[in-house]
Amino acid sequence: MKISFLLHNAYGIGGTITTTFNLAGALAERHDVEIVSVLRHREHPSLTPHPGVRLRPLVDLRREKEHPLHLRPARVFPFAEYRYHQYSELTDQRIAECLEATDADVVIGTRPGLNVHLAYQAPERVIRVGQEHLTLDNHPPRLRTALRRAYRGLDVLTTVTEADARAYRRKMRLPGVRVAALPNSVPDPVLPAADGSAKIVIAAGRLVRVKRYDLVIDAFARVAAVHPDWQLRIYGRGEEEARLRARIEHLGLWNNVFLMGAAAPMEAEWVKGSIGAAASDFEPFGMTLVEAMRCGLPVVSTDCPYGPGEIIRDGEDGRLVPVGDPEAFATALLELAGDDERRRRMGRAARANARRYAPAPVVEQAEQLLRDARAARGAGRPPTPARGGIPGTLISGAHAARDLALVAASGALRTVRKAHR
C-alpha cells in the first residue's frame, strides 16, 4: 500500500510533527510511505525521518515567501483554522495539484485545514483519512461548522483519545465516516530504562502558558524544601522562558530548578530522571507522558482533558491530580520523592503499561482501519459527499471541472468567506 501524509511543516518541531514521523516510520517497514510538507522554511528537518520515508515540500518559504499568490489569502483552507494566516492561494494551488496527481492509495491529513482539502479535493479512488491532533471542543464554533460540512467527504477520522472520538460521534453526525481513536506512538527505547535512583524530576515540552510550568516550579519548591538534593529539569523552548526564569529566581531555586533548553531526541534525558511531571490545563494526548513512562518514569500529571486520564493509571504507574492545584501536585511529587521503593515499583509499571503505545500495536490499529476503509469502498460504500464549504472561486482552470463536480455533489457553491459569516 502507498501511504501519503499531508503535514503542515515537517521542518519544524512539535507534537504533530513528532507523531507523524513516528507513525510514518513504523508504517514504512511494510508500506511505501511519503510525507508531503505543505511548507518548508529550512534546508533540513529538525527531526530525522525514517530512511524508508520520502519527504517533499510543496512551498519553499525561503524562495517563495513573496510569490504573488502567497500574498493572497487562502480560499480552501478554512478561515477559522488556527494556521490560516500561513496559508494562501499558492498553498491552495499546490495542495490541489498534489492531491490531483497523487498515486497514493491512502492520503492522511494531519490537521483540520488539511483534512478539509483532502475531503474536497482528493480523487475518489483515494482512501481519505483525517487525523485530529487537538480536540473537537478546542476548536472555535466557526471551524466546527466548516468541519461538519467537509468531514462527510472523509472515509476515516481518527482522534488521539477515545474521549474525543466519542465527542465527534455525538456532536458531528458524520454518516458513513468511521470515527476511531488512534493514539500517538512512541518509538521503542534504545537506552536502558531509568532505575529510579536519580534525584531528578523531568518535565518537557513547549514553554507556553497552557503547559503550566509555573505550577510545576511552585510545586517543586515544596519538594526542594524537604529534599534539597533533588532537582527539577525543564526541557523545551518558548514564549514563557523569561517568565519561568524570573519565577525560579524569585523562589530562590537557582540551585534546584534548571531550564535546559530543547533536546531532541528526549530519551537520553528522560532516563537520567526518576519522576516525570506535566501540569497542563489542557492536553489533547500527552506525548511527553508516554515518552517518560516508556523510559521507566512514573509521571505526576494534572487530570486535564483529554489524554492523561487515558494514559496514566492513578496510583499504579503515576499520579493524577486536579488541574491548577499546586498543593496537590506538590503532595504527589513528595510521595514519590520520599519513597524509593514505591517510585521504582511505579516506574516498572509505567514502562510495562506504556508498551500499548509502542509502534507495533499502534501500526496494527492503523492498518486495520485502512483495511476496513478499503473493504467499505469495495462494498460500494463511498464517503458521503461534503456539503457547502468548497470555495466558489476555483484555484485554476485545470481543476475547475473536478472542483465543480465536487461542488455539484455537495449541492452548494460558496466561498470560504461567505461560509464563515
Q: What integer pLDDT is reported at residue 377 of this predicted model?
A: 85
Among 310, 337, 357, which residue terminates a domain?
357
Residues 241 and 371 reside in one and the same domain? no
Residues 345 and 365 reside in one and the same domain? no
364 within some domain:
yes
Residues 143 and 239 reside in one and the same domain? no
Largest CA distance in the chain: 71
Residues 132 and 241 reside in one and the same domain? no
Cα–Cα dist 110/83, whole Å: 12
> HSE of 279 in the Cβ direction (CA atoms, 13 Å)?
26
Residues 78 and 125 reside in one and the same domain? yes
Residues 268 and 286 reside in one and the same domain? yes
Buried b (16+ CB within 10 A) or exposed e, 245-266: eebbeeeebeebbebeeeeeeb
Contacts of 168 (CB under 8 A, 6+ apart): 132, 136, 157, 159, 174, 179
Domain region containing 85: 2-185+360-419
Residues 83 and 58 reside in one and the same domain? yes
CB distance 25 to 16 below 8 Å: no
Residues 349 and 367 reside in one and the same domain? no
Cα–Cα dist 315/144, whole Å: 37
Q: Which CATH number covers residue 38? A: 3.40.50.2000
Residues 61 and 153 reside in one and the same domain? yes
DSSP lists the bridge partners of residue 282 as none
Cα–Cα dist 6/114, whole Å: 7
Residues 388 and 327 reside in one and the same domain? no
Each residue's pLDDT tens digit in the chain (421 positions)?
A: 999 999 999 999 888 998 999 999 999 999 999 999 999 999 999 889 999 999 999 999 999 999 999 999 999 999 999 999 999 999 999 999 999 999 999 999 999 999 999 999 999 999 999 999 999 999 999 999 999 999 999 999 999 999 999 999 999 989 999 999 999 988 899 999 999 999 999 999 999 999 999 999 999 999 999 999 999 999 999 999 999 999 999 999 999 999 999 997 899 999 999 999 999 999 999 999 999 999 999 999 999 988 999 999 999 999 999 999 999 999 999 999 999 999 999 999 999 999 999 999 999 999 999 999 999 987 876 666 665 555 543 333 333 333 333 333 333 323 333 333 3
Would you put residue 264 in left (φ > 0), alpha (ψ -120 to 50) or beta?
beta
**C-alpha grid cell, residue 180:** 476511531
How many domains in the chain? 2
Omega of the bond prior to 305 within 30 degrees of 0, cis? no
Q: Which amino acid is at 173?
A: R
Residues 20 and 87 reside in one and the same domain? yes
Q: Which pTM was predicted?
A: 0.83
372 within some domain:
yes
Q: What integer pLDDT is reported at residue 408 of this predicted model?
A: 35
**C-alpha grid cell, residue 69:** 499568490
Among 317, 341, 357, which residue terminates a domain?
357
CB distance 373 to 129 below 8 Å: yes
Helical spans, DSSP H, in 151-285: 162-171, 213-226, 241-250, 267-270
The dihedrals phi and psi of 48, each to the nearest 5 degrees, come to -95, 120
Cα–Cα dist 362/208, whole Å: 29
Cβ neighbourhood burial of 272 (10 Å; 0-12, 13-18, 19+): middle
Contacts of 123 (CB under 8 A, 6+ apart): 99, 100, 102
Query: Quick one: angle between helices 340-353 and 326-337, nearest 10?
Result: 100
